[in-house]
Amino acid sequence: MRWGSLASVLAAILFSTHVSADPLQKSEDIVKFFTGPGSLGASRGICVGTEEECKSKADKAGAPTQKTGLDMMINFALDSAQLDQTARSELDEFAKALEDNRLSRFSFVVEGHTDATGSDLYNQDLSQRRAQSVAAFLTANGVQPARLEAVGLGKSHPRVANPYDPINRRVEMRIKTE
């Protein structure tokens, strides 16, 4: 019985910070994510059909859009803004990606999130600390501070429907569009 309890506690510790974490993303994959096929501008062509048919075809074709957000699943333990070793490894790859010339013109918003445990005010502060923790790590690994903006969003944007799910305790990186 004691071994079963120990195994349960160990499993809870191991899965508390990286529940359903995706495999480590390599820097080249990150660069490709943000620089993938973009819009080449409006296309010109001839459409044979009624005005409605041509408009429908144009709407379906839609120009590819640039991706603005990458959820690297940088997760945190309950009530923590500390980066664990898995998060540090993932962020090392993100920092390498930001050194690539193809991403040199981009700035990023580092968005911190929490689950619904705690008050709104506390969660806002915790999410800000999480975002700042990630931004500080990236800065310490060579990313220019001017390229990063840390923002705490509290519990307002859960990743999954259950507001208490540990997967909601995370940081996401987005291209700064302003």
Residue 125 sits in a domain of what CATH number? 3.30.1330.60
Provide the number of structural domains found in the chain. Answer: 1
pLDDT of residue 135: 97
Q: How confident is the model at residue 156 (pLDDT cuts 50, 70, 90)?
A: very high
Q: What integer is the mean pLDDT of 153-176?
A: 93
Residue 146 burial class via C-beta count within 10 angstroms: exposed 0-12, middle 13-18, buried 19 and up: exposed
Q: With a threshold of 0.75, does the pTM exceed it?
A: no
Over residues 8-27, the pLDDT tens digits come to 333 333 333 343 344 467 88
Residues 6+ apart with CB under 8 A from 34: 66, 67, 70, 97, 102, 103, 106, 175
Q: Determine, yes or no, domain membership for 105.
A: yes
Per mean pLDDT, which range of 33-37, 39-43, 90-94 is the poorest?
39-43
Average pLDDT, the chain: 77
Q: Determine, yes or no, domain membership for 22.
A: no
Residue 169 near residue 115, CB atoms below 8 Å: yes
Q: Determine, yes or no, domain membership for 109.
A: yes
Q: Determine, yes or no, domain membership for 8.
A: no
pLDDT of residue 46: 57
Q: Determine, yes or no, domain membership for 2.
A: no
| CA triple 91-93-97, angle to 5 deg | 115
The total of other beta-carbon atoms located within 10 Å of residue 156's CB is 12
Checking if the pLDDT of 45 tops 70, the result is no
Q: Determine, yes or no, domain membership for 10.
A: no
Q: Which residue range is the domain that position 165 belongs to?
A: 68-175
Checking if the pLDDT of 170 tops 80, the result is yes
